[in-house]
């Protein structure tokens, strides 16, 4: 592709491509607001570029016609109405082949624009990459996107989600930047993959949920683009052999066969293993456990890790999550598949991660801190992604909402903050399940900020400094009179909440 190709040349090609007929120089000159002499010169420069994808046929008195050297131009080249459309498609292409390299010349030929246009596209692409901690790297060996696989899949999934919603699919759309949402996604492979996944689900009676659907979609697009462009990666690790007797084997075999036929490619062994692991993780997540030996081993690991995590979150929060049997059961089921995913380097997409972080900030932070502590102490050796932490957060949030959301937050004020104050706190926890002890603080260390998120102060100090919060003076041994005063406060508190709630409902009605 010659360096003389420019934006006007691209516009000429787009007009010829759309019209699919002979177009006169006068028509082109009028559309582009230039002279016919300029059109003659531009056409000659395009012909001199000598692209292998097309040629321009000139017919006297009829004008110019764009002919593809292959069967149909549309099957080989996507028509982009605006530069933003080309840039978004180029971004998706670079993500799908990462970390493989390509050249500016190849990109220029692929999208039939000048190399200077591609360099300008890179500036826009770099802005889209930055929020995902990805970088566009240019070296003498080629251009590529640098970053971890999960970050690459995150951005790929955003573009694919946008495409699916534009196609009219009832697909949940999460956290898609306006710079992407407003641009039409055009990629011939996406429609083929969409149909392929639909047919596979119907044939094998599968119902892929959104995280697995997006992860599988990203994997398929990556495999197809790399194979189609003859980009070779070092073979990845084989974590377990394929069980030829499992139901997943037949799903995987069918998927691979359809891919090879549809895209005229031949999958590498490590690509087949990768698809098999994703499909098996989906089945594990759906509670269809396929390998009994693995199941037993994973269960022991899961139970130990789930119990440790619940204990640590309980310790760090003060909420008695360790008394919630349903939480343990649900977490065991979820973490069974999670451990399989992490062990097989399957990084699923969590499309509601931003929503989880913003709506359940406290629980998410609490779970993440607790997990990192367990990893640092050697109870779990693998990094757990924010995607996975987000899903775990939901289980703790459900437990919190069911059991602890309506608890009354209190502060225990004492002389030293140790000893008798902890004895008092345990008695209060056992006696009053409606109370959540947020803090135990010695009087000399207490600050005004400590009172802001509590509704009651229970104090063993006769002279206390609290003037803006209800305070109950109690004995460290919590006698019957103390219990009566606390119980009365709880009743009054909930009665007041009911009155406020009733007034609010009345206003809304």
**Residues 271-304: tens digit of each pLDDT:** 999 999 999 888 877 654 444 444 544 577 788 8
Provide CATH code, domain 7-76. Answer: 1.10.10.10
What is the second-level CATH architecture of the domain 409-508?
A: 3-Layer(aba) Sandwich (3.40)
Q: How far apart are CA 29 and CA 25, in angstroms?
A: 6
pLDDT of 466 reads: 55
- pLDDT, residue 50, reads 57
More confident residue, 239 or 130: 130
Q: How confident is the model over 265-270, as a mean pLDDT? A: 89
Site of tokens 């932490």? 389
For position 12, what pLDDT does the model report? 84
Q: How confident is the model at residue 144 (pLDDT cuts 50, 70, 90)?
A: very high
pLDDT category, 256, cuts 50, 70, 90?
very high
Q: State how beta strands 142-146 and 408-414 pair.
A: unpaired
Which position has the higher pLDDT, 375 or 58? 375
* Inter-CA distances, 399 with 142, 311, 403, Å: 51, 14, 6
Segments making up each domain of the chain, as ranges:
7-76, 80-186, 292-403, 409-508
Model pLDDT for residues 116-135, shown as the tens digit of each residue: 889 999 999 999 999 999 99
User: pLDDT confidence of 189, banded at 50, 70, 90?
Assistant: very high
Task: State the greatest distance between any 2 C-alpha atoms of the chain, in Å, as a whole number.
Answer: 108
pLDDT of residue 312: 95
| pLDDT confidence band for 216 (50 / 70 / 90) | very high
- Looking at residue 394, what is its pLDDT? 92
Tell the residue number behind the tokens 């207490």, with chain if given: 446
Percent of the chain with pLDDT over 90: 29
What's the CATH number for 292-403? 1.10.1790
Q: What is the dihedral of CA 258, 259, 261, 262, to 10 degrees?
A: 100
Beta-carbon count within 10 A of 446 CB: 20
Whether 7-76 and 409-508 share one fold: the answer is no
Q: Is the pLDDT confidence value at 72 over 70?
A: no
Which residue is it, tokens 């970050």? 151
Q: Give CA–CA dist 209/206, Å, rounded.
A: 9
Query: Residue 146 — very low, low, confident or very high, per pLDDT cuts 50/70/90?
Result: very high
3 state DSSP class of 508: helix
Closest CA to 169 of 206, 195, 187, 199: 195
- Would you state the pLDDT for residue 41? 87
| pTM > 0.75 | no
Residue 49 is predicted with a pLDDT of 65
The tens digit of pLDDT for each residue in 307-356 reads 999 999 999 988 889 988 889 988 888 888 888 888 888 888 888 888 89
Q: Round to whole Å and give the CA distance between 194 and 213.
A: 10
Q: Mind spelling out the 3-state secondary structure of 109-163?
A: HHHCCCHHHHHHHHHHHHHHHHHHCCEEEEECCEEEEECCHHHHHHHHHHHHHHH
CATH class of the structural domain 80-186: mainly alpha
> In this predicted structure, what is the pLDDT of residue 168?
81
């Amino acid at each position: 592709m010659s360096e003389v190709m420019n934006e006007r040349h691209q516009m000429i090609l787009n007009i010829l491509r759309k019209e699919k007929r002979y177009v006169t120089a006068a028509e082109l000159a009028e559309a582009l607001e230039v002279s016919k002499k300029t059109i003659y010169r531009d056409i000659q420069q395009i012909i001199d570029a000598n692209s292998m994808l097309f040629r321009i046929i000139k017919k006297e008195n009829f004008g110019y016609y764009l002919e593809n050297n292959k069967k149909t131009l549309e099957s080989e080249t996507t028509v982009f109405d605006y530069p933003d459309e080309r840039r978004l498609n180029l971004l998706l292409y670079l993500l799908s082949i990462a970390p493989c390299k390509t050249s500016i010349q190849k990109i220029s030929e692929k999208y039939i624009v000048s190399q200077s246009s591609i360099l300008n596209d890179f500036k826009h692409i770099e802005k889209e990459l930055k929020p995902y901690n990805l970088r566009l790297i240019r070296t003498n060996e080629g251009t590529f996107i640098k970053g971890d696989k999960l970050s690459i899949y995150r951005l790929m999934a955003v573009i694919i989600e946008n495409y699916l919603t534009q196609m009219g699919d009832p697909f949940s759309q999460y956290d898609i930047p306006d710079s992407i949402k407003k641009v039409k996604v055009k990629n011939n492979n996406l429609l083929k993959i969409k149909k392929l996944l639909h047919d596979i689900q119907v044939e094998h009676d599968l119902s892929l949920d959104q995280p697995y659907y997006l992860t599988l979609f990203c994997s398929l697009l990556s495999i197809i683009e790399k194979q189609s462009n003859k980009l070779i990666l070092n073979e990845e690790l084989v974590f377990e052999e394929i069980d030829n007797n499992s139901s997943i084997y037949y799903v995987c075999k069918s998927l691979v066969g359809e891919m090879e036929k549809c895209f005229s490619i031949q999958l590498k062994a490590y690509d087949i293993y990768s698809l098999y692991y994703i499909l098996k993780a989906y089945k594990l997540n759906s509670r269809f456990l396929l390998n009994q030996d693995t199941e037993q081993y994973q269960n022991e690991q899961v139970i130990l890790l789930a119990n440790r995590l619940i204990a640590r979150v309980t310790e760090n929060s003060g909420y008695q999550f360790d008394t919630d049997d349903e939480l343990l059961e649900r977490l065991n089921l979820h973490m069974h598949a999670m451990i399989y995913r992490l062990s097989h380097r399957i990084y699923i997409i969590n499309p509601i991660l931003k929503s989880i972080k913003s709506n359940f900030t406290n629980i998410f932070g609490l779970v993440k801190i607790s997990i990192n502590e367990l990893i640092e102490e050697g109870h779990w050796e693998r990094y757990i992604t924010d995607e996975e932490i987000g899903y775990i957060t939901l289980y703790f949030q459900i437990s919190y909402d069911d059991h602890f959301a309506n608890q009354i937050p209190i502060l225990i004020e004492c002389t030293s903050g140790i000893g008798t104050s902890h004895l008092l706190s345990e008695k209060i926890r056992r006696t009053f399940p409606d109370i959540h002890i947020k803090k135990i603080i010695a009087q000399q260390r207490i600050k005004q900020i400590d009172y802001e998120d509590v509704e009651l102060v229970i104090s063993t100090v006769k002279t206390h400094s609290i003037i803006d919060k209800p305070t109950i003076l109690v004995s460290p041994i919590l006698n019957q009179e103390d219990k009566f005063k606390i119980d009365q406060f709880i009743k009054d508190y909930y009665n007041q909440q009911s009155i406020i709630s009733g007034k609010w409902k009345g206003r809304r009605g």
